[in-house]
Structure 1
Amino acid sequence: MNTELWVKNGYVFTSEGFRFASIKIKNGIIEALYDSEMEPQKEYENNFIDACGCLVVPGFIDSHVHFNDPGRTDWEGIETGSRAAAIGGTTTIFDMPLNCSPSVTNVKNLQNKRDYLTSKSFIDYALWGGMTGNNVQNKAELAQMSEGIIAWKAFMSDSGIDDFPYVAPNQLEQAMKIAAEQNKILALHAEWQEEINSFTTFNKNQKGMNERKAFLASRPISAEEQAVSSAIELAAKYDTTIHFVHISSPKVVEMIQQAKKSGINVTVETCPHYLIFDEEDFLKKGAILKCAPPLRPREEVEGLWECITNGWIDTIGSDHSPCLYSMKNTDSIWEAWGGIQGVQFTWLALLDEALKRKIPLKDILPLGTAYVADRFGISKNKGRIRPGLDADLVLISLDETTFVDQPTIAFRNQYSPYENKTFLLKIKKTILRGKVIYDEQTGGTEEKYGQYIQPRK
């Protein structure tokens, strides 16, 4: 059955910037854009959304979430995670291969996870595959897996999950070779384990040292620098396409930028928490802001914003890594789970901060839309508002604010470092393939329209 919908009178974000336009949607696909005064009026008489006063932007793509499904749904789960994402304007996520149980490190686990998630998500999703110290030798298995995943993820330091061991320096070479042969992106958690070990031992043994300060000192920026430097060298050797996740320091971004200039196919992600919070926030609030790499000094935060304005950051991901509150509420910072609950607030927080800094939104929006779609090969369907693409849209009001309190948090475990923040914008509606999946007046749909995204060949 043909279904038609119009989104009219909004300020639509296109490749040329914002324009006052109406969008014609047919069967979930954008059919046409009209300057509002040129649209054929009679066509939308019965089925339209009035976006008057709103920005209309592409549905956000969060390429870095841990929804922990199957196996650890008391931590999150795709149902609560995808609902929270939809409320925050995200229409597509890429779910990481660890924190679900078992981790996605073989064909069987990948297929089981894919089957399990069917019909459970409110938004579209793709799956990462895991390359680890245990499976990096299984070339045939990894080749089979590569057909069902969006990209590979590997850790260069301890992941915190038993069945997801990090790749040691000698194994990373093998991982680079395999990813290059498959023409698949290899994403890396880049911290140098040997350096973390020595700094952890040293700082734990400092008598009278504040435990939170000791944790920060145990994972210095130099551990990121060493890991990134090593990975870049190998990527150059094997012509591997690589992507560094959650980079926390402008020094490291600059290294990656130099590698790009030298011809290496490399991109870099950072996260909202590295752009908003700093180590002083961690020292005050503790485990709720524990993550790896850890939060950095304020000058590093400011430097990352400079990197964004320079165009050196390629993507933003939430790195939503949820857990039970009891896993944060421990006596020792060393024992607390490291991860930030943020998928619902990623774009609110980021756009709010950009507005405060007077950075044009046209420079920020592609980091969570077009650039992600381009990098991960889904730009034929996602990432932009243009005819032929999925009608994934978000309506945003800059005339209203959003206050975060516990009842508004839609994660399974209702706590977040964004609690008690007020953002200078409000998400009014989230639309997935022409269907409204969140409306700020009526809440979220009960229909789970999310579909699995088949990776490009």
Structure 2
Amino acid sequence: MSEAELVLRSTRVITPEGMRAASIAVTGETITAVLPYDAPVPDGARLEDVGDHVVLPGLVDTHVHVNDPGRTEWEGFWTATRAAAAGGITTLVDMPLNSLPPTTTLGHLRTKQRVAADKAHIDVGFWGGALPDNVKDLRPLHEAGVFGFKAFLSPSGVDEFPHLDQEQLARSMAEIAAFDGLLIVHAEDPHHLASAPQQGGPEYAHFLASRPRDAEDTAIASLIAQAKRFDARVHVLHLSSGDALPMIAEARAAGVRLTVETCPHYLTLTAEEVPDGASEFKCCPPIREAANQDLLWQALADGTVDCVVTDHSPSTTDLKTRDFATAWGGISGLQLSLPAMWTAARERGHGLEDVVRWMSARTAGLVGLDRKGAIETGRDADFAVLDPDETFVVDPAALQHRNRVTAYAGRRLYGVVKSTWLRGRRIVADGDFTEPEGQLLTRTT
């Protein structure tokens, strides 16, 4: 600790061993020690004592649509990373769509990196995309450091990112398995979707019926079979169907290399409360019924579901029409994901340690970011300082998102982020931001 430049002290620090009073010593960008609360501060070190506020590792959100370049009016790196920082997120991994171009070739990745380089308030990594015609591009993208490859099994919603049929999925999976990459999949079966009733209009019940659980269940079953066939690493994105949980648990027990995420909106919002015409609640797969939500919470508790990510998927306000069939499907959640999750988790008897495990430790582990996701020696000095007992009412005008449409508007949430720290430097405090200091990350393993 003698060379520490910063000591961050709190009576409540969340470490891998649990919550305790501690002093965190930081040298440069790195945590160099986690010491008892009353450890002496070395000469020359700056003490930041945050009292009883909780210090937790910066969150790692591995499912974010930044949409930059090409659809920057939907979001963009500047606004997305500011919103993330305001919400205690210090690392995000950007999805390969809805930007133009999508991140499906090495050249497109370089374009994305150039655009992000001077706009990122937090650290940013990138997923690649698996399309029907880009198998040849997968290895070069992997070697350039993308964290894995996203594929859709049903239409993605944008023409430039077509979905894979089962034969195309097998080809892409075989190639990715050959270099032990990670395939992440939007799993809804197109045939089940096509046969579901498509009534359109403002009634949420009609939209819910158009994206039935069996579309997810069938797609996940086929994904498991392919993963077993190729011994591939596969990750199920944004699980919403509780009916799929038994087959997921069975596959994992049988040794299939399968991980699963869900999202705050599936864990905190229910179909029964969605007003007709309120397409700010529209996402695919959809927000389902309260009984289904209970199953997702149980799966988080028992480890069948690994982690929680936002699937932040914004659009301009004009695309959020009152017709659920035509409105853009996506929930904007970066800035509110931590308080939304903490509010629901505490009601169900979970602690902040659980939220950190689901939204920081396991997400960092999913993508191999071994310097993120925990407050311990050798990790990046990324922190969120949270008052877990303070509440606020969500005001869309107070959000940093470019388009301030939110399904959480008017909700009272627990957990106010007081400051966020990136690699040893405070980047936001009480609504004041520093200039962008984020780094572009690449896969290292």
TM range (shorter): over 0.9
Is the partner of 1:424 in helix, strand or coil? strand
User: RMSD of aligned C-alpha atoms?
Assistant: 1.6
* Alignment match of 1:358 (pick from 343, 349, 354): 349
Is the partner of 2:335 in helix, strand or coil? coil
Distance 1:359 1:193 in 2: 36
Report the counterpart of residue 60 of structure 2 in structure 1.
Answer: 61
Give yes or no for contact 2:7–2:41 (8 Å, CA) kept in 1: no
Q: Deviations over 1:365-404 (max 9, x none)?
A: 111111111121111x111101111000111112322221
Q: Do structure 1's residue 450 and structure 2's residue 438 form an aligned pair?
A: yes
Is the partner of 2:390 in helix, strand or coil? coil
Distance 1:161 1:203 in 2: 19
In the TM superposition, residue 444 of structure 1 has moved relative to its aligned partner by 3.2
Q: Do structure 1's residue 263 and structure 2's residue 263 form an aligned pair?
A: no
* Alignment match of 2:332 (pick from 341, 345, 351): 341
* Alignment match of 1:415 (pick from 389, 397, 405): 405
Distance 2:389 2:140 in 1: 50
Q: Deviations over 1:233-282 (max 9, x none)?
A: 01001000000010002221332121110001110000000011111233
Distance 1:42 1:298 in 2: 52
Report the counterpart of residue 314 of structure 1 in structure 2.
Answer: 306
Give yes or no for contact 1:404–1:422 (8 Å, CA) kept in 2: yes
* Alignment match of 2:160 (pick from 156, 159, 163): 163
Report the counterpart of residue 295 of structure 1 in structure 2.
Answer: 287
In the TM superposition, residue 213 of structure 1 has moved relative to its aligned partner by 2.2
Distance 1:3 1:387 in 2: 12
Q: Deviations over 1:185-244 (max 9, x none)?
A: 100000001110111xx4339xxx974322211110000000000000010010000000
Q: Do structure 1's residue 212 and structure 2's residue 204 form an aligned pair?
A: yes
Paired-residue identity, %: 37
Report the counterpart of residue 98 of structure 2 in structure 1.
Answer: 99
Report the counterpart of residue 172 of structure 2 in structure 1.
Answer: 175
In the TM superposition, residue 42 of structure 1 has moved relative to its aligned partner by 4.5
Report the counterpart of residue 120 of structure 2 in structure 1.
Answer: 121
* Alignment match of 2:148 (pick from 148, 151, 155): 151
Is the partner of 2:22 in helix, strand or coil? strand
Distance 1:134 1:334 in 2: 29
TM-score (norm 1): 0.94
Distance 1:225 1:371 in 2: 24
Q: Which moved more, 1:145-154 or 1:57-66?
A: 145-154
Taking structure 1 as reference, are residues 350 and 203 closer, same or farther at Cα in structure 2, changes over 3 Å only? Answer: same
* Alignment match of 1:406 (pick from 389, 396, 401): 396
Distance 1:295 1:247 in 2: 10
Q: Deviations over 1:79-113 (max 9, x none)?
A: 00000000000000000000111111111111111
Distance 2:413 2:219 in 1: 35
Is the partner of 1:358 in helix, strand or coil? coil
* Alignment match of 1:388 (pick from 370, 375, 378): 378
In the TM superposition, residue 313 of structure 1 has moved relative to its aligned partner by 1.4
Distance 2:293 2:389 in 1: 27
* Alignment match of 1:326 (pick from 292, 314, 318): 318
Give yes or no for contact 1:80–1:411 (8 Å, CA) kept in 2: yes
Give yes or no for contact 1:13–1:385 (8 Å, CA) kept in 2: yes
Distance 1:412 1:431 in 2: 22
Taking structure 1 as reference, are residues 214 and 402 closer, same or farther at Cα in structure 2, changes over 3 Å only? Answer: same
In the TM superposition, residue 455 of structure 1 has moved relative to its aligned partner by 0.7
Q: Which consecutive unaligned segments of at least 5 residues does structure 1 have?
A: none
Give yes or no for contact 2:12–2:22 (8 Å, CA) kept in 1: yes
Taking structure 1 as reference, are residues 161 and 120 closer, same or farther at Cα in structure 2, changes over 3 Å only? Answer: same
Matches within 5 A, 1:270-281: 270-281=262-273
Q: Which moved more, 1:306-315 or 1:158-167?
A: 306-315
* AA in 2 matched with 1:84: A
Distance 2:309 2:156 in 1: 18
Distance 1:110 1:144 in 2: 10
Q: Which consecutive unaligned segments of at least 5 residues does structure 2 have?
A: none
* Alignment match of 2:191 (pick from 194, 205, 221): 194
Is the partner of 1:19 in helix, strand or coil? strand
In the TM superposition, residue 285 of structure 1 has moved relative to its aligned partner by 5.2
* AA in 1 matched with 2:92: I
* AA in 2 matched with 1:349: A
Distance 2:102 2:408 in 1: 29
Give yes or no for contact 1:282–1:290 (8 Å, CA) kept in 2: no
Q: Deviations over 1:22-62 (max 9, x none)?
A: 1010101101111112x123446x62211211111100000
Q: Do structure 1's residue 25 and structure 2's residue 16 form an aligned pair?
A: no
